[in-house]
Structure 1
Amino acid sequence: MRIPRPLRAAALVALPAALLVACSSADSGSPKAGGSPAAARAGVESEQPAAATAGEEEASAPAAGDTPPPEKVRDAFAGLQATLQDGCTTTEEQCAYFLGRVYEELEGLDRAMKADPKGPGHFPEPIEWITGLRGTIGPDRSYPNLKAHQGELVGTRDRINTWMQDHPDDYR
Structure 2
Amino acid sequence: MIRTGLRAAIPAVVLGALLVGCSAATTTDGPGGDVPHVDPSAAAQPSLMPTPSPRPTLIIQEDPNAPELVRDAFAGLQATLDDTCTPGAGDCAYFLGRVDDELNRLDEAMKADKKGPGHFKEPIAWIGTLRTTLDGDVSTPNLEKHRTELIGTRDRVNTWMQGHPEDYR
TM-score range, shorter chain: 0.5 to 0.7
Identity of aligned residues (%): 69
- Does residue 76 of structure 1 match 2:73? yes
Which shows bigger deviation, 130-139 or 81-90? 81-90
Match of 1:166 in 2: 163
Q: How large is the Cα RMSD of the aligned pairs?
A: 1.4
1:139 CA drift (Å) = 1.3
**8 Å Cα contact 2:73/2:102 also seen in 1:** yes
Letter of the 2:83 partner, please give it: D
More helix by share: 1
SS in 1 for 2:91: helix
Aligned residues: 102
Could you tell me how far apart the structure 2 residues matched to 1:140 and 1:160 are? 21
Residue in 2 that maps onto 1:101? 98
Question: TM-score, structure 1 length as denominator?
Answer: 0.57
Other-structure match for 1:113: 110
Normalised by the length of structure 2, the TM-score is: 0.58
Q: CA deviation at 1:93?
A: 2.3
Which residue of 2 is the match for residue 128 of structure 1?
Answer: 125
Unaligned regions of 5+ residues in structure 1, if any?
A: 1-70
Gaps of 5+ in 2: 1-67
Q: Distance in 2 between matches of 1:139 and 1:97?
A: 17
Inter-partner Cα distance in structure 2 for 1:151 and 1:90:
11
| Equivalent position SS for 2:90 | helix
Aligned counterparts of 2:147 and 2:131: Cα–Cα separation in 1: 13
Where has structure 1 moved over 6 Å in runs of 4 or more? none
**Counterparts of 2:72 and 2:84, CA distance in 1:** 21
Taking the aligned partners of 1:148 and 1:90, their CA distance within structure 2 comes to 8
Greater RCO structure (CA 8 Å; 6+ sep) = 2
Q: Post-superposition shift, 1:77?
A: 0.2
Structure with bigger gyration radius: 2
Amino acid at match of 1:118: K
Deviation at 1:90, TM superposition (A): 9.2
